[in-house]
């Protein structure tokens, strides 16, 4: 299928041609006709599937055709000078919003449609002037847009088409309440296009509230998005990750690599350490200014910087062609985030490589990732920094299964004698008093080995029998016998002393 067959108007076709778009992707084939027909849309698609064009191309066409209808009106000149916002596109991050804005400008180059980006990190005054000049399409992040709404610097009462892009990310970043307040400023009757890679419960509720009989488009399940990407994992100690990264990047065939860290501080540290081994690298994260982030991204795209080190939120919207390697310095604790990360490479049918470092604490994350992608990630074992005091990963998995089998069997589950819990040694059961006296007798009675045999056999047997009967006299009888034996021993010893004294006196 071609874009012409999707009934795209010639001005937009020209813009697509300038952007080197030859034929639509699957999500574009399914989404564009539905949007042009005025239907609500629910799209479940991963990064790199072409969803930006899937919603922006038909929006440009709908608004362009509506503008041409109004051109014959006497108030046409006044309308051009005071354009109302007719489409709002909400995006979770500045980078993604700017990328969408740049794409829309390319697609709409040969139309009369105006668009502008409203994001944080840049002068609000400049954005206010752009709004005063008029914009048909506004691409915004929720935070900055909410500021303008509260300051009454923007009017959303004429919005006809709303796009929520990467709604699950907006939920993760805490923007969902701002999004709801922004939507409340719009007309109830509007076309809504909703895109989300995952569908957590809160997102499902929003879909049910916002969308009316939507067309559902689901492209590339999570398990198959990574099929064309060659994946590998290194099991190593936390302190050896940087050394392993330095070693990998000695391979000069790696023209560009996107490295993901869990924290902003970690991104800065990795960047500094790479510079020490003469690897050109820049970091991109939330603590960087907008200009710094854009400069780092431009340097990476142009090849000035070989390695871009990023956090997950800052990396949203990074779209770099010919990116060959994605390296997970830290494994994410959310499996879908792993899919988002490695989806930066292997785009447009090209192959890519995803390398992950896994320390011992991250082993559970690795297992969760493998469950989601429905495949086992090959382990690279031949490297100089293996994980110490750690069994083979297969053994780790086996022991985990064994533990779950013995601890979580529930009622009726079988456990062998070796698996059954024994008596606690730290808090032993209290012994009956009869046994206490038996042990004292055993330690003080004479008679050598025969006495020991006697105390360890016959006496405990009688005590055990008495204890089994439970009579209170058993303990008293034992005490009486003990006193009697003690008195006998004392009397015998006294007689021996007196006899010895008498003998000495006689001498």
Same domain, 104 and 46: yes
Structural tokens at position 285: 């994260």
Report yes or no on 227 lying in a domain. Answer: yes
Task: For residue range 176-218, list pLDDT tens digits in order.
Answer: 899 999 999 999 999 999 998 778 888 899 999 999 999 999 8
Percent of the chain past pLDDT 70, that is, above it, reads 70
Same domain, 17 and 151: yes
Same domain, 20 and 146: yes
User: What's the mean pLDDT in 392-401?
Assistant: 44
Report yes or no on 441 lying in a domain. Answer: no
User: What's the mean pLDDT in 431-437?
Assistant: 43
Q: Which of 429-443, 461-475, 478-492 has the highest mean pLDDT?
A: 478-492
Which of 186, 220, 254 corresponds to the end of one domain? Answer: 220
Which of 202, 220, 238 corresponds to the end of one domain? Answer: 220
pLDDT at 435: 44
Bigger pLDDT: 91 vs 22: 91
Domain that holds residue 198: 4-68+81-220
User: What's the mean pLDDT in 248-272?
Assistant: 94
User: What's the mean pLDDT in 265-276?
Assistant: 96
pLDDT at 197: 78
Task: For residue range 9-26, list pLDDT tens digits in order.
Answer: 999 999 998 887 888 988
Same domain, 236 and 190: no
Q: Which of 344-358, 466-480, 488-502 has the highest mean pLDDT?
A: 344-358
Pair 242, 215: CB distance under 8 Å? no
Compute CA distances 38 → 35, 55, 104, 251, 333, whole Å.
5, 12, 19, 51, 39
pLDDT exceeds 60 at position 340: yes
What does pLDDT average to over the chain? 78
pLDDT at 219: 77
Lowest mean pLDDT segment, chosen from 87-101, 204-218, 329-343: 329-343
Per the structure, the count of domains in the chain is 2
Pairwise CA distance, residues 55 & 63, whole Å: 12
The CATH number covering residue 389 comes to 3.40.50.300
Report yes or no on 186 lying in a domain. Answer: yes
pLDDT exceeds 50 at position 394: no
pLDDT at 469: 41
pLDDT exceeds 60 at position 153: yes
Same domain, 274 and 201: no
User: What's the mean pLDDT in 39-53?
Assistant: 84
User: What's the mean pLDDT in 330-354?
Assistant: 81
Same domain, 206 and 129: yes
Residue 154, SS3 per DSSP = coil
Report yes or no on 415 lying in a domain. Answer: no
Lowest mean pLDDT segment, chosen from 203-212, 272-281, 343-352: 343-352
Lowest mean pLDDT segment, chosen from 36-50, 283-297, 351-365, 391-405: 391-405
Which of 394, 419, 434 corresponds to the end of one domain? Answer: 394
pLDDT at 464: 40
Task: For residue range 132-148, list pLDDT tens digits in order.
Answer: 999 999 999 999 999 99
Total-model pTM: 0.55
Same domain, 360 and 236: yes
Same domain, 209 and 339: no
Report yes or no on 309 lying in a domain. Answer: yes
Same domain, 261 and 211: no
User: What's the mean pLDDT in 39-45?
Assistant: 91
Same domain, 301 and 356: yes
Report yes or no on 143 lying in a domain. Answer: yes
Lowest mean pLDDT segment, chosen from 300-309, 311-320, 323-332: 311-320
Same domain, 206 and 293: no
Bigger pLDDT: 469 vs 156: 156
Bigger pLDDT: 438 vs 207: 207
Report yes or no on 464 lying in a domain. Answer: no
Structural tokens at position 1: 């299928």
Same domain, 119 and 240: no
Residue 99, SS3 per DSSP = helix
pLDDT at 488: 54
**Token pair 């005071």: residue:** 82
pLDDT at 47: 63
Report yes or no on 419 lying in a domain. Answer: no
Percent of the chain past pLDDT 90, that is, above it, reads 48
pLDDT at 375: 87
Lowest mean pLDDT segment, chosen from 24-33, 240-249, 330-339: 330-339
Compute CA distances 308 → 205, 223, 396, 499, 507, whole Å.
37, 27, 33, 102, 108
**Residue 317: which residues within 8 A CB-CB, separation 6 or more?**
91, 93, 94, 95, 96, 97, 98, 99, 100
pLDDT exceeds 80 at position 349: no
Q: Is the dihedral of CA 287, 290, 291, 296 positive or negative?
A: positive
pLDDT-derived band at 287 (thresholds 50, 70, 90) equals confident
Pairwise CA distance, residues 304 & 313, whole Å: 23
């Amino acid at each position: 299928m071609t874009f012409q067959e999707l009934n795209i108007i010639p001005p937009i076709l020209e813009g697509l041609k300038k952007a080197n778009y030859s034929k639509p992707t699957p999500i574009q084939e399914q989404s564009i006709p539905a949007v042009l027909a005025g239907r609500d849309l629910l799209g479940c698609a991963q990064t790199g599937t072409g969803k930006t064009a899937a919603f922006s191309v038909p929006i440009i066409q709908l608004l362009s055709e509506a503008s041409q209808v109004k051109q014959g009106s006497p108030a046409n000149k006044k309308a051009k000078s005071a354009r109302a916002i007719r489409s709002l596109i909400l995006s979770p991050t500045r980078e993604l919003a700017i990328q969408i804005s740049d794409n829309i400008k390319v697609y709409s180059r040969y139309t009369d449609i105006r668009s502008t980006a409203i994001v944080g990190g840049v002068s609000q005054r400049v954005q206010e002037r752009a709004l005063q000049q008029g914009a048909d399409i506004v691409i915004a992040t929720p935070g900055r847009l909410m500021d303008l709404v509260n300051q009454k610097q923007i009017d959303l009462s004429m919005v006809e088409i709303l796009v929520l892009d990467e709604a699950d990310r907006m939920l993760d970043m805490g923007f969902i309440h701002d999004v709801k307040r922004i939507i409340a400023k719009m007309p109830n009757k509007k076309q809504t296009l909703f895109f989300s890679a995952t569908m957590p419960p809160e997102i499902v509720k929003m879909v049910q509230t916002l969308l009316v009989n939507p067309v559902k488009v689901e492209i590339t399940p999570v398990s198959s998005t990574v099929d064309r990407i060659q994946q590998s994992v290194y099991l190593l100690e936390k302190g050896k990750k940087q050394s392993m990264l330095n070693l990998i990047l000695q391979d000069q065939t790696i023209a560009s690599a996107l490295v993901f860290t869990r924290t902003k501080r970690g991104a800065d540290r990795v960047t500094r350490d790479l510079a020490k081994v003469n690897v050109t690298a820049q970091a991109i994260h939330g603590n960087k200014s907008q200009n710094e982030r854009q400069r780092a991204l431009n340097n990476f795209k142009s090849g000035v910087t070989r390695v871009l080190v990023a956090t997950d939120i800052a990396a949203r919207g990074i779209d770099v062609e010919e990116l060959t390697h994605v390296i997970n310095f830290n494994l994410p604790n959310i499996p879908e985030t792993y899919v988002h990360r490695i989806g930066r490479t292997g785009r447009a049918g090209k192959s890519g490589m995803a390398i992950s470092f896994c320390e011992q604490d991250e082993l559970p994350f690795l297992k969760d990732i493998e469950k989601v992608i429905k495949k086992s990630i090959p382990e690279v074992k031949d490297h100089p920094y293996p994980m110490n005091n750690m069994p083979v990963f297969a053994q780790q998995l086996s022991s985990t299964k064994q533990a779950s089998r013995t601890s979580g069997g529930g009622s009726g589950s079988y456990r062998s004698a070796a698996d059954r819990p024994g008596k606690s040694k730290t808090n032993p059961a209290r012994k009956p008093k009869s046994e206490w006296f038996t042990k004292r007798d055993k330690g003080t009675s004479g008679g050598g080995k025969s006495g020991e045999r006697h105390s360890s056999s016959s006496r405990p047997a009688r005590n055990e029998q008495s204890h089994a009967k439970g009579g209170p006299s058993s303990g008293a009888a034992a005490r009486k016998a003990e006193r009697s034996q003690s008195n006998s021993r004392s009397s015998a010893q006294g007689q021996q002393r007196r006899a010895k004294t008498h003998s000495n006196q006689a001498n």
